[in-house]
Amino acid sequence: MDYKTVLTTCAYCGCGCGLYLEVLDGQAIGTIPSKTNPINEGKLCVKGWNIHEFVQHPKRLTKPLIRKNGTLTESSWDEALDYTASRLKEIKEAHGSDSIAFLASAKVTNEENYIIMKFARAAVGTNNVDHCARL
Amino acid sequence: MYHAIKERVTELLSTGEVKGFLALKKDNGHIKPHLYVSPDEIDQLSIGDGETAGDARYPLTKILTMLLQNHSGEPFGILARGCDQRALRALAAWNQISLEQVVVIGVACSEELARACNCGLPYPDEWLEGEQIEPKDPRPVEWEAKSPLQRLDLWRAEFEKCIKCYGCRNICPMCFCKECSLESEDVVTKGEIPPDLPMFHLVRALHMIGRCVDCGLCEEACPASIPLRALYKKVNDIVETRFQFRAGIEQTEQSPLHKIAEPPAAI
Amino acid sequence: MTAQRVAVLRDLLEFVGIEGERLNLVWVSSAEGPRFANEMTEFTEKIRSLGPLNWNYQWAVPDSELRAANPSK
């Protein structure tokens, strides 16, 4: 028997509500809003209340997929990164920097979002950066 | 603070009388629900008083229900206020938990909190900390004073704020149903905000008959600040007036509606 | 028990400001066709006379003015 409540931040939007994930024997089984968090003061929206469901969901992507002959096939990280880098280069050379856009995510950290922004502007040379949580 | 509780919990854990003790813990400036399995962290025990009395209460009884259902037969301890004690008794009456192996450590609420809650019983059966505060009138008298038309307008304005987060149901220690009417498309239209007025809130209110222990966690969890507590206090008031029944207090039967009785004079 | 439950619901409706008469409970057997028709007609008439729900959404308006606007109350 191992029950823990783990303090974390809701990943669904930019608000940053504080919540506890209930972990029983290694499985995330529930969500409890944090009463002492100044952002949400013990409240959550319907998405936040169900956030424990996606953490260990079997349908979650764990390996990169590349579309080969019309079907998505699992591949290694090396292959996926090489493919992405070469295609991005090709597109940039053929159509210019502004033919590429970047969509960042709320489900990664601030720092990782900073990196994708820097990559877009410095490495690719475009201002086409947006974020799914820009609600 | 809370020396008596900490000493007792240390004793329970070191003698193995309980496998785990469910209470609150001060952790990195936050207060969170925590299952103590050894006396090591007992210094960080909290009763849920953050900036004001009782502002960091959590549904400990709901967590206990889940723990007992997954690890039945193991002895647990729980920190309980008056409302938690009522929830434990009501949950046992509804056959959700067995209290045989549950050790309850009580804490009585402060005058400030008892007044804020209008709590009808702000202390558990036995307590190690706190004082016995005079129970308050738990009826929603400020609402009763208004006329029906004012009440209709006010409740509409309140219900209309609902963002259907299901927080009131999710946090409620007495909401243990596997299937919830509020998710049935026969009662509540899918994908619409606000939910069907006043069906959504009245269905939940009606399902609180014989259950609501007036802990107030629903109202604290409501992002729209709907005065849910007043609504459920009224349900409790109706049930007490009609059936002399208060959930979680001397409760042996599940609900006054579960027995065959003479129908009321006017149907 | 249904009769008790309906009685509680009626009290609750009145607390929310909805007339209790809008809720009705009768037992009618499948053999009592005419009675069913009568009950339904009577209840429909009652609801019609009560009119639509007073969802005015004027909660800042004093009670006296609401009464003036709805003299039947």
Q: What is the mean pLDDT of chain B?
A: 90
For residue C62, the model assigns a pLDDT of 53
Distance set, CA B253 to CA A88, B1, B138 (Å) = 69, 38, 22
- Is B153 close to C7, i.e. CB distance below 8 A? no
For residue C67, the model assigns a pLDDT of 56
| Shared-domain flag, residues A69 and A41 | no
- Is B256 close to C4, i.e. CB distance below 8 A? yes
The sign one gets for the Cα dihedral C3, C5, C8, C14 is negative
Does residue A60 belong to any structural domain of this protein? no
Closest Cα partner for B166 from B197, B200, B199?
A: B200
Find the closest chain B residue to C66 by CA distance: B149
Residue C51 distance to chain B (closest CA, Å): 14
Q: What is the pLDDT of residues B47-69, one digit of tens each?
A: 988 888 888 999 999 999 999 99
Supply B153's token pair. Answer: 């307008």
Residue B140 distance to chain C (closest CA, Å): 10
Contact between residue B197 and residue B160 where contact means Cβ atoms under 8 Å apart:
yes
For residue B2, the model assigns a pLDDT of 85
Supply B208's token pair. Answer: 């609180």
| Shared-domain flag, residues A126 and A81 | yes
For residue B250, the model assigns a pLDDT of 76
Is any Cβ of chain C less than 8 angstroms from the Cβ of B254?
Answer: no
Is any Cβ of chain B less than 8 angstroms from the Cβ of C25?
Answer: yes
Least confident of A91-95, B102-106, B253-257, C54-58: C54-58
First to last CA, chain C: 32
What does the buried/exposed string (b/e) look like for B119-147 if buried means 16 or more CB atoms within 10 Å of the residue's CB?
bbbbbbeebbbbeebeebebbbeebeebe
- Structural domain spans, chain C: 2-69
DSSP string of B150-218, one letter each residue: HHHHHHHHHHTT-----HHHHH-TT---SS-GGG-TTTS-TT-SSPSTTHHHHHHHHTTTTT-----HH
In 10 A of CB A41, how many CB atoms? 16
DSSP category for residue B118 = T
Give the gyration radius of chain B's Cα atoms: 19
| Closest partner CB to C12 (pick from B156, B205, B257) | B205
Residue A93's domain comprises 65-131
What is the four-CA torsion angle of A11, A12, A17, A20, rounded to 10 degrees?
Answer: -60
Find the closest chain A residue to B30 by CA distance: A36
Does residue A9 belong to any structural domain of this protein? yes
Edge to edge, the sheet with strand A3-9 lists A3-9, A18-24, A27-33
For residue B54, the model assigns a pLDDT of 84
Q: Which residues does chain C have within 8 Å of residue B147's beta carbon, measured at their own beta carbons?
A: 63, 66-67
Please count the structural domains in chain A. 2
Identify the domain boundary among A55, A80, A97.
Answer: A55
- The CATH number given to whatever domain includes residue A14 is 2.20.25.90
For testing contact with chain A, the best of B165, B220, B225 (most A CBs within 10 A)? B165
- Element (DSSP H or E) covering residue A30: strand A27-33
| Closest partner CB to C3 (pick from B256, B258, B263) | B263
Residue A41 distance to chain B (closest CA, Å): 8
The model's pTM: 0.85
Residue A52 distance to chain B (closest CA, Å): 13
Res. A80: pLDDT tops 90: yes
3-state secondary structure of A11: coil
Contact between residue B174 and residue B93 where contact means Cβ atoms under 8 Å apart:
no
| Closest partner CB to C1 (pick from B197, B205, B257) | B257
3-state secondary structure of A73: strand
